Amino acid sequence: MRGKWITRARGALLLVAAGVARAATADVPVSQAPNLAITTTGWVYALARQSDGSVIVGGDFIQVNGVRRRNLARITAAGTLDPQWNPAPDGVLVEALAVDAQDRVYVAGVFDRIGGAVRHNLARLDGHGSGAVDANWQVADASGVTRLAAGNDALYVGGAFESIAGEPRNGLARIRLDGTLDPNWAPQPDSPDITALALDNDRLYVAGNFDAIDGSARNGLARLSRSTGLLDAGWNPAPAPDTSEDPPYQGISAIAVRDEVVFVGGTFRRIGGADRDNLALLSSIDGSAQSFGASGVGPVHRLERDDDGALYVLESDLHTIRKLDEHGGGTLAFASPQVQVEALVADGDRVTLGGWFDTAPGRDDVSLMRLDAGGTHAGAAWKVDRAGYVHAVQALHDGSLMVGGNFRRVDGQARHGAAHVLADGQLDLSFDLEVDDGASTHAFAEDAQGRVYVAGIWQQGGLNGYVARLDAHGTPDPDWAPQPDGPVWGIALDGGDVFIAGDFRRVGAGWRSGLAKLGDGEGAPLDPDWNPQAMWSGSSGYAFGLVAAAGSLYVSGQFDQIGGESRVGLARLQQSGVGAAMPWNPEVDGAVNAMRMHDDALILAGSFTHVGSQARNGLAMVGLQGDGAPLAWNPLGATPARFTAVAAADDGAVYAFGWRDIASDAVAVLRIEGGAIDPAWRVEVGDIDHALETIASAADGRLYLGGSFDRVGDRCRLSLAAVGAEVVGDRVFADGFETCL
């Protein structure tokens, strides 16, 4: 959560650093349009039921049914989103939840703030009202906590950690009711990887990838005293592996205990002294296997018991759920290959499922839904979205935009990986690429006739979808279909030539390793001679960056030989003939992620420290001719950095994105001019993944930012925004800052 980003305007470098907003900043205006919610299907990782039937939902998302909720939400017993309960943790995800007898909610995940308070990865919240953070309950640091069990005596935590609250603990800890670590409770599994916790009376059941606890053999399953943490010497089911796997695999992933009835699930073939496949009922006295008639159960991911004693079994395929009675009888409650269930809670007459769902019965693109007791869709489903990823933005000659990436919706409208945004910032409802759900668009190019070329990973019917030319409605031109056999990452146009770069081996019937030259005429004719062959360690390599200029093609990618010459990751090729490599060779010592023309030079952005013998940290400018030696331009000096994207505006401005290792808690874009940061220019960016992946400059001077974020400056924006290049004044955020929660 301390990633850093960089940009530059008019000979000025702009830096984006991850963290928390400052109280005041210079006001670089954020355009009112576009203001489109670019989203993809979110993930629900954890569910917890409260006493009134409400369900707490945790995961990786930014909104529920179109209402902002970051990674945490409350669905009432009536099935509505609670309009007040909104703790809004600031981090990447919520991974575990637990509710205690007072309906207080414990939350574990990856975050530094929640409910406006500093809490590092673990917090206790009011289960009602606004979800306020308990000011008197705080654990100093709880990184790696993935499992929670809340009792009336303490909170038990498990996961992949070796310390918590500054004290050594090997994947297990007990947090007292006042939020302090119990100093005397310290069982020692031999591996800090806990996969399940369950409480019953005065005992704690623990599963994980361990062979022993406190020196006593326990094959991934044990029982401890809740008060002392001591191992129960008399309870040892000793699960045995599935020998059909190579190597044999055994693991317990789920435990469900109530009134001394103990169910465990995972991947095993023997447990408690008897043969059992993946699911077992165990004695609470000695751990021996009890009679239980369930059969044909696959590896188990989760177990849940409802108030009537029924056992719900989520298999590890993540889309099969069985409902079993106390004897193991029952039916298949739910099975759908279009869903990936991660969590479930049951309350007798219904079960709530969370995960990542492609479709749900009667509802598309949801990640949270409710079934009745018989496994039939109960009519309640909630669209859970996370911020989409924008990989490419292309400003077109008519003032409109092409936006591409990995997303499924724009302002609630289905748009899989590509969208056209009109000049007024509104979504073009007539343009729809209508490709598969897994579409990911990575590059656009516009020719002199206004035709748009698009590249990435997508399919439409039987048409190979790695590169296409589109009409005004997003329909691929059927007469221009090159049919590469792998993804296309870059496109460059020069006259009637279309150059493509990617991870492909053939284009149509012709062998081409990562690069090809096509005509723009009917049939997209492949140039029969031009074949530079990007190679890596004697095998096929790939290319992703292309810049065409003055009869040359500048190429970046994963290769060590290209155009018949030794070139590592960067080369200049002839556009004509066979595509031979030219003497130009800057010798960059790391990856070049992006390139742009800038007057008579080429800007390089990537993860490198030297260009030739000259120190350049992630950003450099090299000459177009000769050997490609770096120019004196070096805005970062000796500061380590790496960059992912660059852009050059018509007025000479240069923009670049990347990470820079500085001590800063601000999510901001800064400008460096004349070799120094301009303190008067600042754009704050946050928060989701702190990710800016692309930038495009428009003829009107605006900068279009694309990535995965929920705020730019003082305005809420989801993954796409436009900002001005000029400072218009200062603003204290308290006077005008929009809350993006």
Going 297 to 284 to 249 to 189, the CA torsion angle's sign is: positive
pLDDT at 268: 92
> Would you say residue 632 has pLDDT above 80?
yes
**Which range has the worst mean pLDDT, 47-51, 199-203, 480-484, 675-679?**
675-679
Phi, psi of 407, deg, nearest 5: -150, 165
pLDDT at 173: 98
| Cβ-proximal residues to 656 (8 Å cutoff; 6+ apart), any chain | 6, 7, 8, 13, 14, 603, 605, 619, 643, 645, 646, 647
The predicted-structure confidence for 295-333, as pLDDT tens digits, reads as follows 889 999 999 998 888 899 999 888 889 999 888 888 777
Going by C-alpha positions, the residue among 222, 209, 311, 302 that lies closest to residue 255 is 302
DSSP H or E run through 733:
helix 733-736
Sequence ranges of the domains in the chain: 4-37+387-736
- Starting from the edge strand earliest in sequence, which strands make up the sheet with 467-470, in order? 440-446, 452-457, 467-470
The predicted-structure confidence for 365-415, as pLDDT tens digits, reads as follows 678 988 876 667 666 889 999 999 999 999 999 999 999 999 999 998 989
pLDDT at 532: 97
pLDDT at 518: 97
Query: Tokens at residue 634, please?
Result: 């070096």
CB 634 within 8 A of CB 656: no
> Would you say residue 337 has pLDDT above 90?
no
The predicted-structure confidence for 81-117, as pLDDT tens digits, reads as follows 999 999 999 888 999 999 999 999 999 999 999 999 9
Q: What is the 3-state secondary structure (H, E, C) of 83-149?
A: CCCCCCCCCCEEEEEEECCCCCEEEEEECCEECCEECCCEEEECCCCCCCECCCCCCCCCCCEEEEE
The predicted-structure confidence for 691-740, as pLDDT tens digits, reads as follows 778 888 888 888 899 988 888 888 889 999 998 766 554 443 333 445 56
> Would you say residue 667 has pLDDT above 80?
no
Query: Tokens at residue 267, please?
Result: 């991947």
The predicted-structure confidence for 577-619, as pLDDT tens digits, reads as follows 999 999 999 999 999 988 999 888 999 988 999 999 999 988 8
pLDDT at 671: 56
| Cβ-proximal residues to 703 (8 Å cutoff; 6+ apart), any chain | 7, 9, 647, 649, 655, 695, 696, 697, 722, 723, 724, 725
Which CATH number applies to 4-37+387-736? 2.130.10.10
